[in-house]
């Protein structure tokens, strides 16, 4: 590709790009760029939300650039304050070490192992003396640090901000200095941290990195309103609304089949490798009633499972899921229920009660806690789970308690 073609390809789907002219200039040099992204191993599994960013890393590799996968084993001890309303708990050293090991292994489900350099930022951060940290802190001002939204909010609400949290963006920025990188990638929630990297690199006399951010993938229980706006928490292991890349095929497929019809198109946009035209064709077919949304959702689920487990495993998982929820196994007399949403969704325990599957919302909570509730084949354990507008959802709340619930 020409430098201009590379720029168009690499910037596709990117939310923030600072600075486009600088990226084009470096592409025109025809020298491989050093591209980095960091992942703090606070828990041991990568999930589909991480893969949005990693797919962009893979595209850089495909175009001949050098990718550095940073395992943030040192920065995980500080805790990224991004999006936090309180100081993040610090994981144990054992948790970090286990997460670091599995992160490095799982990265190669997306990245080319032969063209990926895996590094641990403890290699340089752990060697810094206190005088080094003071010099690093002197490269950035407190006024600029307090411009970040989460710090401003916590300060205004008299919530504590620990001094070590102010060091996190600086430590992440020093990763860029140590690697002398050309491009740093991150989710949109990382924009502040990435921009600090540009400034700190300048302060160390280096050419500042280009910053690129990718969209944030919402979790399985996110909802979509009538205007198409997606609302809900981002996919997160701590919120248990995620699909891990190492989960068994049937569990991956079941979770993906549990998302709402509206959310499915967001997942297509960020996760599918199908062309934009093919995705648009399917969506139009669903909207016109020419295709069942479940068929489109099944195609997406099979594509993702095949990516991490192979086509044969994906087909087997689909067949097992369809057999479990075919008319042969779901009761013939399963009631069809339409319930009214409260806002853009309905609290699952209330939906169970309103559909007559349980005598009360409190009993619905209890059955969820017992692991007795499934939605479209996926077990639900979150008592705060909500059914978004759409469906119908095949809901089971016990051996004989079934209903097809549509939320309007």
Give the pLDDT confidence score for residue 146 in this predicted structure. Answer: 87
* Residues facing 210 on adjacent strands: 183
In contact, 92 and 98? CB cutoff 8 Å: no
Residue 9 lies in a domain: yes
Sheet holding 210-214, edge to edge: 16-18, 210-214, 183-187, 34-39, 66-71, 116-120
Point out the domain boundary residue: 170, 196, 214: 214
Q: Answer yes or no: do 347 and 209 share one domain.
A: no
Give the pLDDT confidence score for residue 330 in this predicted structure. Answer: 62
Q: Answer yes or no: do 192 and 336 share one domain.
A: no
Residue 297 lies in a domain: no
Which residue numbers in the chain have pLDDT < 50? 85, 327-328
Q: CATH number for the domain including 336?
A: 3.10.290.10
Point out the domain boundary residue: 214, 230, 254: 214
Model pLDDT for residues 350-377, shown as the tens digit of each residue: 999 999 899 899 989 989 988 889 887 7
In contact, 373 and 348? CB cutoff 8 Å: yes
Residue 303 lies in a domain: no
In contact, 211 and 191? CB cutoff 8 Å: yes
In contact, 243 and 223? CB cutoff 8 Å: no
Domain tally for the chain? 2
Q: Answer yes or no: do 203 and 350 share one domain.
A: no
Give the pLDDT confidence score for residue 331 in this predicted structure. Answer: 63
Q: Answer yes or no: do 335 and 210 share one domain.
A: no
Point out the domain boundary residue: 199, 214, 229: 214
Helix (H, G, I), strand (E, B) or coil at 243: coil
pTM above 0.85, yes or no: no
CA distance 378 to 6: 41
Task: List all residues 6 or more positions away from 197 whose beta carbon is below 8 Å from its beta carbon.
Answer: 172, 173, 175, 176, 184, 208, 209, 211
Model pLDDT for residues 54-111, shown as the tens digit of each residue: 999 999 999 999 999 998 888 888 876 665 545 556 667 777 777 777 777 788 888 9
Residue 231 lies in a domain: no
Residue 300 lies in a domain: no
In contact, 299 and 322? CB cutoff 8 Å: no
Helix (H) or strand (E) holding 349: helix 348-354
Residue 14 lies in a domain: yes
Q: Which of 213, 216, 218, 217 is nearest to 198 (CA)?
A: 213
CA distance 55 to 264: 19
Q: CATH number for the domain including 154?
A: 3.40.50.620
Task: List all residues 6 or more positions away from 164 whose beta carbon is below 8 Å from its beta carbon.
Answer: 78
Residue 118 lies in a domain: yes
Strands 223-224 and 345-347 turn out to be unpaired
Residue holding tokens 């486009």?
A: 20
Residue 173 lies in a domain: yes
- State which residues form the domain around 404: 331-408
């Amino acid at each position: 590709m020409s430098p201009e073609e590379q720029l168009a390809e690499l910037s596709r789907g990117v939310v923030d790009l600072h600075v486009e002219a600088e990226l084009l200039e470096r592409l025109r040099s025809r020298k491989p760029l050093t591209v980095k992204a960091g992942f703090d191993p606070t828990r041991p599994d990568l999930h589909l939300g991480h893969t949005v960013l990693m797919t962009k890393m893979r595209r850089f590799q495909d175009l001949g650039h050098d990718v550095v996968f940073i395992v943030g084993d040192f920065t995980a001890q500080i805790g990224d304050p991004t999006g936090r309303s309180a100081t993040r708990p610090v994981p144990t050293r054992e948790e970090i070490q286990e997460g670091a090991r599995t992160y490095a292994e799982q990265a190669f489900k997306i990245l080319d192992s032969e063209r990926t350099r895996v590094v641990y930022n403890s290699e340089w951060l752990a060697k810094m003396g206190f005088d080094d940290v003071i010099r690093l802190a002197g490269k950035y001002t407190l006024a600029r640090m307090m411009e970040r939204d989460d710090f401003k909010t916590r300060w205004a609400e008299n919530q504590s901000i620990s001094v070590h949290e102010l060091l996190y963006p600086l430590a992440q920025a020093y990763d860029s200095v140590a690697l002398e990188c050309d491009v740093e990638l991150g989710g949109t929630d990382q924009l502040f941290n990435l921009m600090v990297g540009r400034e700190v690199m300048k302060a160390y006399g280096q050419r500042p990195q280009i910053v690129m951010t990718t969209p944030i993938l919402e979790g399985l229980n996110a909802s979509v309103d009538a205007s198409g706006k997606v609302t809900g928490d981002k996919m997160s292991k701590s919120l248990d609304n995620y699909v891990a890349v190492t989960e068994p095929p049937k569990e991956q497929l079941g979770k993906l089949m549990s998302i709402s019809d509206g959310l499915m198109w967001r997942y297509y946009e960020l996760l599918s490798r199908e062309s934009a035209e093919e995705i648009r064709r399917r969506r139009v077919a669903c909207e016109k009633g020419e295709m069942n949304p479940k068929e489109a959702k099944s195609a997406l689920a099979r594509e993702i499972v095949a990516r991490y487990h192979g086509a044969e495993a994906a087909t087997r998982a689909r067949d097992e899921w369809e057999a479990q929820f075919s008319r042969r196994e779901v009761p013939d007399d399963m009631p069809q229920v339409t319930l009214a949403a409260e806002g853009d969704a309905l609290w699952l325990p209330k939906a169970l009660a309103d559909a007559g599957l349980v005598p009360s919302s409190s009993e619905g909570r209890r059955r969820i806690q017992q692991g007795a509730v499934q939605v479209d084949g996926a077990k639900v354990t979150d008592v705060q789970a909500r059914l978004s507008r759409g469906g119908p959802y095949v809901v089971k709340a016990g051996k004989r308690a079934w209903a097809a619930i549509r939320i309007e």
